[in-house]
Amino acid sequence: MVKRAFWIFAGLLLFFPFSSAGPQTQKKVHVDRPVIPARPEDVTTIEGIVKASYETISGDVGVPRQWGRDRTLFDPNSRSVAINVNAKTGAITTASMTEQEYADRSDASIVKDGFTERELKHVIHRFGNVATVLSSYENATADGKNKERGVNIFQLYFDGQRWWILSMVWDEERPDNPIPAELQ
Q: Using alpha carbons only, what angle is made at residue 118 by residues 117 and 120, rounded to the nearest 5 degrees?
A: 140
In the chain, domain spans:
5-17+32-177
User: What is the spatial distance between Cα 98 and Cα 79, in angstroms, rounded to a whole number?
Assistant: 5
Per-residue pLDDT of the chain (184 residues; tens, 9 = 90+): 445 444 444 444 333 333 344 444 556 899 999 999 999 999 999 999 999 999 999 999 999 999 999 999 999 999 999 999 999 999 999 999 999 999 999 999 999 999 999 999 999 999 999 999 999 999 999 999 899 999 999 999 999 999 999 999 999 999 999 999 999 9
Which are the contacts of 45, defined by CB distance < 8 A and separation ≥ 6?
163
Q: Would you identify the CATH topology of the domain 5-17+32-177?
A: Nuclear Transport Factor 2; Chain: A, (3.10.450)
Q: In Å, how far are 49, 54, 174 from 179, measured between CA atoms?
A: 22, 18, 9
**pTM recorded for the entire structure:** 0.85
Torsional sign, CA 126, 179, 86, 104:
negative
